[in-house]
Structure 1
Amino acid sequence: MADKQNLNAGFTGTPTEQPEGLTKVAKSAANEVKREVYAVASGARDHPQAASALLLATGMLAFGLGYLLGRSSAESSTRAYWR
């Protein structure tokens, strides 16, 4: 068999060049988003009733606003059509 050679090909876990510019900003933003998602998930895990109530209230508010916007849009278009 052939002698073992030291192959340094492929990803070793850390990049040789540090990111700069847009790549640095994107990595920083991704890390911040991960931390925020973890914080929200941790809070929801600790307080499931409050999280479900907040989710339900947000859904009801979004439905109500959508209903009102759709209704006002339908009323204004029918009035203009029949005049």
Structure 2
Amino acid sequence: MVDKKDLDAGFTGTPIEPPEGLAKVAQSAASGVKREVYAVTAGARNHPHTASALLTIGILAFGFGYLLGRSSVESAPRPYWR
């Protein structure tokens, strides 16, 4: 038969000791990322036209940079071992 003490062994709360070292750094970084994501989404929600314009400009800039990068690879001389 299963003892009641075995059933109460699961973790159901928060740790007693605060995180230290790498766990503390990871928790702090995750908290910072969450705050920044919330700030960006709140700004986009308040200014939808500006957000869509910035997104469009970003996509166009990425595409232009990709095309420039591809053209420079194609025009570069091939290494001698190929």
TM range (shorter): 0.7 to 0.9
What residue number does 1:16 align with?
A: 16
Question: 5+ unaligned residues in a row in structure 1: which ranges?
Answer: none
Paired with 1:36 and 1:29, the residues of 2 have a C-alpha distance of 11
> Deviations 1:6-47 (Å, cap 9, x if unpaired)?
x85433432111100100010000000000000000000000
Paired with 1:15 and 1:44, the residues of 2 have a C-alpha distance of 36
Task: Please give the secondary structure, in 2, of the residue aligned with 1:66.
Answer: helix
Paired with 1:16 and 1:9, the residues of 2 have a C-alpha distance of 15
Q: Which letter does structure 2 place at the counterpart of 1:54?
A: L
What residue number does 1:69 align with?
A: 69
Q: Which letter does structure 2 place at the counterpart of 1:50?
A: T
Q: Which letter does structure 1 place at the counterpart of 2:34?
A: K
Task: Please give the secondary structure, in 2, of the residue aligned with 1:13.
Answer: coil
Task: Please give the secondary structure, in 1, of the residue aligned with 2:76.
Answer: helix
Q: Which letter does structure 2 place at the counterpart of 1:53?
A: A
TM-score (norm 2): 0.79
Q: Which letter does structure 1 place at the counterpart of 2:67?
A: Y
Paired with 1:59 and 1:77, the residues of 2 have a C-alpha distance of 30
TM-score (norm 1): 0.78
Question: 5+ unaligned residues in a row in structure 2: which ranges?
Answer: none
Q: How many pairs does the alignment contain?
A: 76
